[in-house]
Each structure stands twice: as C-alpha cells, then as structure tokens.
C-alpha cells in the first residue's frame, strides 16, 4: 500500500505474484548451493532470504472450526515471505527478513477504556483464554491480492466478554507495538506509527472476527504479527492489525493509520467491495497468491451471508 504519488513502488508490487514467488524459490536454492558475495556482502542478505528456517512453536489442542472456508490453502513458505508489515519495511519480502529478531515474549496486551474490568493480559493468559480453533480464512489485500491461511485463535468476543464493556463502548481501538530500535525501517514507511486500527463494537463481537495467535498449527511467525493479531476476513487486509499491545473501548470512532495517511483512499469500514474501487486499484478482481489468472472479488470477500446484515441500511459507497 502506498500513499499519494510515491514512485518507489516495490518490485513485489509490479511483478506477477507467481514470477515473484519463483524468483524467491530460485534465490533460496541458489543460496543453498553456495553463498555468493557482492561488494563483500552476501547476496542472500541483500535479497529476500526465506523465513522457513525457524518454524514456530507447535500449538496444542487445536480444534477444527465450522467457520472455515473450503478452499485450497496457500503454502506456508509463500505467505510468510509475502507480507505487509510496514514497521519492518514496505517491500513484501522485508518483514520476513527484518522481523526475525523481533522480541515477542514476554508480551502483554492492555485492555482499557469503557469496560468494567480493565486488565493487562499476559500472552500466556490469552493463549489459555478459550479453546484454540483452526479457521481457514481468505484474506484480501486492498492491493488486489489474496491468500488462504489456516489461522489459529478464537473469536475476539471471548476476550471482550471477559472485560465487560459498558454501554458507552461503541467502538474498539487497537494499537500495534512500536519501537524504532527494533523497527528501524519504520522510518522510511511514510505512515505514522504506532499502527492503529478500529472496529465498530458489533464487528468486533462478530464470531468471524478472530483473535489470532497462530497459523499452520504453530505460533504466529513474527512477520505475520506475533504474538497476537486480529483477522477480520470480510475487510481489506489492513484492518487485520498485527502484534497488538493495546485494545481500547470507546464511544467515538477511533482513527486508523491508513485513514490518517490518505483519508480519501481508506475508509473506516473498508469492507471488501468489488463495486467500490480504490483510487489506484480496481477492486473488481484479485490475484490469489501463487496463481496466474485473476479471480472475481466477492462482496465482503465471500462472507456476505454472515456479515452483510451488520451494514443493512448503510450506503456502502459513502461508508467505504
Ligand atoms: N501493525 C501492522 N499491521 C498490519 C499491517 C502493517 O503494516 N502493520 N499491514 C496490514 C496489511 S495491509 C495486510 S494485507 C495484512 C497482511 O497480513 P499477512 O502479512 O499476515 O498476510 O496485515 C495488516 N496488518
Ligand atoms: Mo493489505
């Protein structure tokens, strides 16, 4: 995602995804065959190095979910080397490289605002809060690519019920961890940090809204938002905020990072909608990561049956 008239479009955004992925596979096999050096620096350091080296901790006792999409899952190595996590760089292959040493333990999430029981939750407490489920969801980025991932977690509503929101809680604001020392590339991202997002209360309480702690049966890789993120599958990917440290309940609609950066391009709702184009990307079609032919984008990313009623009576062109 880029702002305004920036011209430094990452290589990954102008290259068909299958070519991009093949290039990456070629590079990793070249790296295995022997390290090449360029100006004294290993070439593999300058280019994308695959992140599969340290696979995450296995999560135990995961149940299947009836909310899963019946679709082919993208390979782990592909989705964990093609990320948006601007704190660790704006090119798709940068988060895998530069989030490697991101410290995600110990970790706490502060839950505050319009609730009867504000609490500072430890990540270990969150992991035991509710039975872990595998949810196979489509995630559709506003840049018109999509992935299918077996996420692990439970409905965010499980955490929300624990803190007892008051009647004034109309919105939920989320905030990502931020530390320039661990995230030096954030300096060049062109958006304000910490990254913030928000949901309306009924969206946050919807069973599809996942508090996510893992994927592919393992703890979340750093580049995918370790140790805890949300996944809101009917909205554009940027709503699915990563590495959360704060959740605040409030009466007013909270600001969002992309809304602050380019208000005419990114609305608060950002429901996937093939009929409302982004100024710079048609939203009518999308490319599934690893595929060549484009697919038609579905209203609410294919989750209309479950979520369309949340927006009945709203003009979705106005509330984009
Ligand atoms: N903190 C933070 N969260 C973020 C982003 C980001 O840059 N920073 N990028 C978003 C965007 S644009 C997308 S498409 C998804 C990508 O999730 P994935 O890399 O796990 O596929 O994360 C979202 N969450
Ligand atoms: Mo995105």
Mutate to test the pocket of ligand 1, among 56, 230, 237 (most ligand atoms within 8 A of CB): 237
Q: Check residue 281 and give its pLDDT.
A: 86
Task: Tell me, yes or no, whether 50 lies in a domain.
Answer: no
- Give the CATH number of the domain where residue 242 resides: 3.90.420.10
Under the banding of pLDDT at 50, 70 and 90, the label for residue 36 is very low
Is residue 1 within 6 Å of ligand 1 at its C-beta?
yes
> Do the beta carbons of residue 235 and residue 174 sit within 8 Å?
no
Is residue 226 within 6 Å of ligand 1 at its C-beta?
no
Q: Check residue 54 and give its pLDDT.
A: 54
Dist. CA 231 → ligand 1 center (Å): 10
Dist. CA 183 → ligand 2 center (Å): 19
Cα(178)–Cα(186) distance, integer angstroms? 9
| pLDDT over 70 percentage in the chain | 83
Cα(190)–Cα(207) distance, integer angstroms? 34
Dist. CA 140 → ligand 2 center (Å): 7
Is residue 138 within 6 Å of ligand 1 at its C-beta?
no
How many domains does one find in the chain? 1
Task: Tell me, yes or no, whether 304 lies in a domain.
Answer: yes
Task: Tell me, yes or no, whether 20 lies in a domain.
Answer: no
Q: Check residue 56 and give its pLDDT.
A: 85
How large is the average pLDDT for residues 183-204? 98
Q: How does pLDDT run across 301-316, given as a tens digit for each residue?
A: 999 999 999 999 999 9
Task: Tell me, yes or no, whether 169 lies in a domain.
Answer: yes
Q: Check residue 49 and give its pLDDT.
A: 39
Q: Which residue range forms the structural domain that includes residue 299? A: 57-311
Task: Tell me, yes or no, whether 163 lies in a domain.
Answer: yes
Q: Which ligand is located closest to the Cα atom of residue 197?
A: 1
Task: Tell me, yes or no, whether 239 lies in a domain.
Answer: yes
Task: Tell me, yes or no, whether 121 lies in a domain.
Answer: yes
Q: Check residue 21 and give its pLDDT.
A: 53
Q: How does pLDDT run across 96-139, given as a tens digit for each residue?
A: 999 999 999 999 999 999 999 999 999 999 999 999 999 999 99
Task: Tell me, yes or no, whether 133 lies in a domain.
Answer: yes
Q: Share the mean pLDDT of the chain.
A: 88
Q: Which atom of ligand 1 is nearest to the CA of 223?
A: 19
Dist. CA 137 → ligand 1 center (Å): 15
The residue length of the chain stands at 320
Dist. CA 151 → ligand 2 center (Å): 17
């Amino acid at each position: 995602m880029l702002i305004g008239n920036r011209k430094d479009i990452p290589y990954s955004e102008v290259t068909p995804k299958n070519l991009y992925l093949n290039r990456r596979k070629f590079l990793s096999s070249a790296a295995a065959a022997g390290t090449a050096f360029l100006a004294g620096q290993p070439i593999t350091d300058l280019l994308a190095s695959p992140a599969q080296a340290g696979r995450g901790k296995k999560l135990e006792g995961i149940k299947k979910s009836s909310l899963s999409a019946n679709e082919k899952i993208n390979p782990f190595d592909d989705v964990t080397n093609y990320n948006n996590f601007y704190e660790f760089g704006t090119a798709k292959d940068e988060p895998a490289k530069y989030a490697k040493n991101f410290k995600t333990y110990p970790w706490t999430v502060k839950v505050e605002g319009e609730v009867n029981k504000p609490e500072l939750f430890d990540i270990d407490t969150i992991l035991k809060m509710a039975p872990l489920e595998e949810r196979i969801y489509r995630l559709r980025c506003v840049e018109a690519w999509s992935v299918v991932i077996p996420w692990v977690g439970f409905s965010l509503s499980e955490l929300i019920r624990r803190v007892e929101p008051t009647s004034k809680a109309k919105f939920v604001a989320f905030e990502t961890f931020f530390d320039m020392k661990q995230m030096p590339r954030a300096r060049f991202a062109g958006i304000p940090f910490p990254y913030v997002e928000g949901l309306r209360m009924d969206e946050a309480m919807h069973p599809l809204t996942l508090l996510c702690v893992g994927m592919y049966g393992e703890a979340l890789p750093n580049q995918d938002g370790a140790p805890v993120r949300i996944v809101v599958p009917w909205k554009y990917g940027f709503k699915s905020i990563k590495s959360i440290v704060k959740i605040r309940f409030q009466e007013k609609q909270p600001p969002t990072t992309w809304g602050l950066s380019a208000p005419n391009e990114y609305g608060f709702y950002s429901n996937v909608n093939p009929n409302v184009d982004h100024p710079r990307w048609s939203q009518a079609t999308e490319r599934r990561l690893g595929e060549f032919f484009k697919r038609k984008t579905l209203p609410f990313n294919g989750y209309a049956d479950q979520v369309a009623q949340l927006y009945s009576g709203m003009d979705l062109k106005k509330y984009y």
